[in-house]
Structure 1
Amino acid sequence: MVNGLLRWAFGFVLVLVLPALGFASEEGAAMEPHMLWRVIDFVLFAAILYYFLRKPIAEFFRNRKESIVGEFEQAKRAKEDAERILKETEEKLKALEDEIKRIIETFESMAENEKQRILAELELAIKRIRASIEEEKTSILSKAKMELLKNLSEETIKNLRERFSNLTPEEHAKINDKFIRSLQQ
């Protein structure tokens, strides 16, 4: 310990006293007489400060070192925790992305099934409409045929009445005979 104190004092003197001596030698060749006493005072003052403050300063630096080491360890743990949380979050995010893909695929499948169902219902509705149109068309055609037959019959009857009304009694008898013979056969 004494060795350390002497080394420290010698180093302190070299660091502080030699520049002062150099400064003094630049201003003049001779050094002031009380300059040596000032240096001695300063060295004694520094030695007393060292003696009384070395333990508190050493304790301060030791505590500071322990505090820094503790903070470093705490920061290291915090970094490890953050990395672990980041890794867990990335895994959860990946799982979430996979879940989203699965849900999208499910909805796309459901949408495709719904599309096919709607198309099938539409096709069935189209067939029903076509069948209904065909029935209506057939009904309309039947009605038109009936109407046409009715009109044609009425026209034929009208024409026959006109022809028969202009027939002579001999022509009537001839037609009746012909009709009776056709029924007998």
Structure 2
Amino acid sequence: MKRIFALIAILLAAAPAFASEGPGEAAGFIGIPTLVWKILNFIVYFGLLVYLLRKPLANVFGSRREGIARALSEARQQQDEALRMKAEMNARVASLEREIVELKERMTREGERERAALVSQGAAEAERASSRLGVEADRRLAAARVSLAREAADVAAELAWDLLKREVTPEDRERIFAATLTRLEGSAR
């Protein structure tokens, strides 16, 4: 094998000397035309290049392929994580919306019960003192309704605020704010 490479090297080194022949001389080297030597030189040169560079190029392209596959895998994992977080946030938002609806319903029921209790109490007082306090009883009943509505609204707001402080983290607030901002920007267009 070494002898073949040595022969090829000698022939390649001698080729420029034989290429210095004048124009019109077509004899070539060892009776072989110059064109054939040029073609043979070309084949040997690129054959040697392929032989010498095959492994390093295969390693380079293999490591590049692995790097791309690794980056693609990481991108898929990040996308899956983002989808999971989105589903989780949607579930939390839906849960909070359900809790708010339940809280409103509960406050409405409690308000109706208290209203019924206040109405019955007002009716009893009105019956006892209807001759003297008819107008006063109506005024107090109206004031009690307004007060109850305010109190119910305050309690509902306080319970909702406590629920939000307890359940929503600063990251959730940032995401909800970003989602709301995006929704508002989309509706503004």
- TM surpasses 0.5: no
Larger RCO: 1 or 2 (CA < 8 Å, sep 6+): 2
Larger Rg: 1
Q: TM-score, normalised by structure 2?
A: 0.41
Q: Name the structure with the higher helix share.
A: 1
Under a length normalisation based on structure 1, what TM-score does the superposition of the two structures give?
0.42
